[in-house]
A and B are shown apart, each in its own frame.
Chain A
Amino acid sequence: MATKYVGNRVKRTEDPRLIQGLGHYVDDIKLPDTLHVAFVRSIYGHARITGVDASAAAKAPGVVAVYTGKDIGKIGGVPCASDLPEMKKPEFLVLASNKALFVGHAIAAVVATDRYLAKDAADMIQVDYEELPAVTEEVKAAAGAPYVHEQFGTNIAYKLTAGEGDIAAAFRSSDKVIKQRILNQRLAPIAMEPRGVLARYYPGEQELTLWSSTQIPHLMRTQVALMLGMPENRLRVITPEVGGGFGSKLNVYAEEALLGWISMQLGQPVKWIESRRENFQSTIHGRAQLGDLEIGIRKDGTVTGLRYNVFADMGAYYQLLTPAIPTLTGLMLSGSYKIPAIQINVTAVFTNKMSTDAYRGAGRPEATYVVERAMDLVAAELGMDPVEVRRKNFPAPNEFPFKTATGLFYDSGDYVLALEKALKNADYKKLGEEQKKARAAGRLVGIGVSTYVEICALGPSAALPAGGWESATVRIEPTGTVTVLTGASPHGQGQETSFAQIAGDELGVSIEAVTVIHGDTSIVQYGIGTFGSRATAVGGTAVFVALQRLKEKASKLAAHLMGVDPATVKFADGRFTSGAKSMAIQEVALHAHLAKSLPEGMEPGLSATYFFEPKNFTFPFGTHICIAEVDKDTGEITLQRYIAVDDCGRVINPLLVDGQVQGGIVQALGQAFYEHVVYDENGQLLTGTLMDYALPRATNCPWMELDRTETPSPVNPLGVKGVGEAGTIGATPCLVNAVIDALAPLGVRHLDMPLKPETLWRIISGNSARSA
């Protein structure tokens, strides 16, 4: 099959409407008589709520209703899909009534005729608080009182040990065990579009429709139906345009159920659009792991074993996947290396903060950061080139599928190939020479390397609480246009384009003739959604297989219509041909719908549905290299070059892959240099606006020299691996390694993120004890 579209830089079909401001996000959907909700949220990190006086608010202009924690008794708690042995399970009600456990914890909801009146009335609600001591540090939290949840008598949410191999023996057999405490600081995902919900209940039809900015419309339908105790088939979830998620919308939030419930109480549409301030306070955060790394090595750089004892900050409650994130960290601790023994010991703790959950990479960037920092620590300890330490510990291409001591089977890989390409693109040898010269001239120039592997295409159903498959339906309509319904829920990734490319090539039609529909539970068959770099590898495969089935049926019908032996029919460029006879697939589609002449036993219509269950995850990999210079006077960092070679398997659209890698690198830049959600010792959020919380700007970004190797994945017929998170995972340690390398002549071996100029300045000026 010729590929007119797949593999080419096809421009995103989504973009014309988005660039022109013609897309419809939740807030763009206007229903008559819509009421607006404003929340009263806790101003304390930990407080007993001794009273809520809503009497003035209830009488305020435009106010229709006020709800507090006492009014919402029947709404189920915010769901958590992961369950670990002996895990403490706090109930997270949609409105707090006795205690507020984090700044931003919703206490009351005001419903009014417009958004302004709702907010004015919310300000009139008097909440009486008795402030309690807050739990804000992971290590102290694990040690004892005060407790976030008194009933547990501990702040430890769970403890978990995982990994294979005899770690003690591995360390005994090593020449040296290097130890380092490593922080993966708390981050805020900050999607450009905050969350938002519009709920409309029709009492007659008993039908609730939720428009929500989410990554998982079907899972949300199931969970909200359970929370509200309503039949799932009376609930419809629609995700219109979604302005980014990065995992923060891979969740079911209190507001989603509560808005639905309020609409059912009032019989009117209700809308809530999250403010950026609320977004900082009450949309999930990511990372927040503080751990102790131990890595055993031999004198030649061979790694014998790796142990990571980590405190994982859950926040005050669990959201959908909160407890599962550190388990992903544990799975990826082998990195792209042969490590015979690996152990992770997780101590998950509750703190008086917003929940942590999946943020671009979700546990894997944390692991990759630890492993890639470890490789540089080994190189520094042994005086080896960081590249050689990595090369020494790579599995060879013929060792795949490669089994790790964390229990995974890496599907395919050629780590040396990507490494060599990156070294060549960077001219690594010359970089080293230039660095020597720069150092001789007194400049602080560093070279950062990271060779990452990540786990994508989540995933086999056995590994995911709600199933890891994805669904697709493809149809050719009577007039010949093609409709693709995907259970994935793209929100910026561009699958409206890439799935149309697949359909266009498979059916021999123009991509303009293909419409990809997603994100409406009443139109699209059940699906899992978009997260974990899965949509193309799993959802795209479902589309691909459904297309094969559709073609099989069309081919049989074409043979029947042409009066030829089905075995003689060939399909190419949109036409079925047998000898001199030929028919366009659109003609066949029309006949399938008219159904005047069908083969015996064939159903009318032309559509096929496929639910694809992957056999394994996929494991993309790559090498990132960058050059950073630190200003000796101010500690400010300048990135001189950024070189990335990523292998995400077969590429459907290089333009989309480049975009994903670039975006991922930018978010890595955020974690490495700028971002940190900071709560003070009272649980006050100190970085609650974009004036305080620094995101990387265009002017902070280096020019990215992107390249690829293509090692197809054997676990799906497209050979696709996934690329949504690779940039973030590969780049974070690369950036940090470069800066630490720049400061290596000062004796620096490790620094915690974000690498703030003041920290660097203190080291340069000798104002700070050097780390490690």
Chain B
Amino acid sequence: MIPTPFDYIAAKSLDEAVALLGKHGEAAKILAGGHSLVPAMKLRLAQPQVLIDISRIKDLAYIREEGNSLRVGAMTTHYALESSKRVRVVSPLLAECAAAIGDVQVRNRGTIGGSVVHADPAADWPAAMIALRVEMVCAGAKGERVIKADDFFVDLLTTAIAPGEVLREIRIPLSQGRTGQSYKKVRHPASGFAVVGVAVNLGLDAAGKCANASIGVTGAAAKAFRAGGAEAALTGKPPDAAVAAAAAAKAADRQDMNSDLYASAEYRRHLVEVTARRAVLAAVGAAK
């Protein structure tokens, strides 16, 4: 419960943070809300020698609409997203996912940027990031680059962010027309993390058929994944209970499910199916 020694630097600007990261290299870690990194440090599982705190940098915590997208600063807390009335209207999945994270204390400190960059396989955000097809804007020494959510989550605790880069912003394309979104999860009774979590973002056409579907799954495997088979099973069909069930079965049709003390791979596969079905039906309900 006591970390190894480290230096602490409060960066004043994003440029300074990037420069510090370049200077200290692998010895350094970015500190955002500290709700993934600090617990790991207390157990000495993470032993960074330098912490670069980006929480004091102005204008990294914001939610604003620009054209057809929502821009969310990396330091935006879960609570800010959960409680924003505008977010609930334009991107309800963001608010619903935020509200499903941890507890009030965690949501008040923890940030969306810190969570996605940590890429915990049981974190809630990755499912929503995939379902919303977000773009991650990363700042580095050579300027900014944009990483699509599908390319962002690479493996267990591993993202496509390069050494020396800092996540600055998450851009969420806003859906048009009849859309419905939902996030459903099975909470781990101890950690509160997702045993499985399924985020659904779908659109209906004028006839009430599913015009498009985007589904992210977290908690189930080493990294969050897109349930492409389920999306295909929904698209072009009237999303009734039978179609939802068929799509959910596709979401669960994988061989790489996690297994732990709480849930075997077999049970997890089943939970993905149940949760996906519930999330699809809830999203359809929201779209009507």
Contacts and interface: CB of A to CB of B under 8 A. Distances in A.
Interface of A: 38, 115-116, 119-120, 123, 275-277, 633-634, 636, 673-674, 678, 686-687, 689-695, 697, 700, 756-758, 761-762, 765, 767
Nearest to B3: A116
A116 B5 contact: yes
Given A120-B5, A275-B2, A700-B189, A633 B261 contact: no
B2 A634 contact: no
B44 A123 contact: yes
Nearest to B271: A634
B190 A692 contact: yes
A237 B266 CA distance: 54
B261 A116 contact: no
B49 interface: no
Nearest to A765: B270
Contacts of B1: 275-277
A765 B264 CA distance: 15
Nearest to B188: A694
Contact of A115 (B2, B186, B190, B274): B2
Contacts of B44: 123
Interface of B: 1-2, 4-5, 43-44, 186, 188-191, 261-264, 266-267, 270-271, 274
B69 to A, nearest CB: 35
Of the listed residues A634, A700, A756, the one surrounded by the most CB atoms of chain B closer than 10 A to its CB is A634
B267 A761 contact: yes
B190 A694 contact: yes
Contact of A756 (B43, B186, B262): B262
Contacts of A761: 267, 270
Chain B contact residues: over half helix, strand or loop, or mixed? loop
Nearest to B273: A633
B177 to A, nearest CB: 31
Contact of B43 (A277, A634, A700, A765): A277
9 contacts: A38-B2, A116-B5, A123-B4, A123-B44, A276-B1, A692-B190, A693-B190, A758-B262, A758-B264
B190 A119 contact: no
Nearest to A758: B267
Nearest to B42: A275
Contact of B261 (A38, A276, A692): A692
Contacts of B270: 761, 765
B186 A692 contact: no
Nearest to B186: A634
Contact of B189 (A119, A275, A694, A767): A694
Nearest to B1: A275
A674 to B, nearest CB: 5
Instruction: Give the one of B261, B263, B264 with max A CB within 10 A.
Output: B261
Nearest to A687: B261
Contacts of A758: 262-264, 267
Nearest to A38: B2
Contacts of A673: 189
A123 B5 CA distance: 12
A492 B33 CA distance: 33
Nearest to B260: A692
Given A633-B274, A634-B274, A674 B189 contact: yes
A763 to B, nearest CB: 12
A633 B272 CA distance: 11
Nearest to A116: B2
B135 to A, nearest CB: 31
B213 to A, nearest CB: 21
B1 to A, nearest CB: 4
Contacts of B262: 756, 758
Nearest to B122: A691
A533 B44 CA distance: 40
Contacts of B267: 757-758, 761-762
Contacts of A692: 190-191, 261
B120 to A, nearest CB: 11
Contact of B190 (A116, A277, A633, A690): A690
Contacts of B274: 633-634
Given A674-B189, A761-B267, 11 more contacts: A115-B2, A277-B1, A633-B274, A689-B43, A692-B191, A694-B189, A757-B267, A758-B262, A758-B264, A761-B270, A765-B270
B118 to A, nearest CB: 14
Nearest to B191: A691
Given A115-B2, A275-B1, A276-B1, A678 B189 contact: no
Contacts of B261: 678, 686-687, 692
Nearest to A759: B267
Contact of B4 (A120, A693, A765): A120
B273 to A, nearest CB: 9
Contacts of A123: 4, 44
Given A758-B263, A758-B264, A119 B2 contact: yes
A761 B269 CA distance: 12
B285 to A, nearest CB: 17
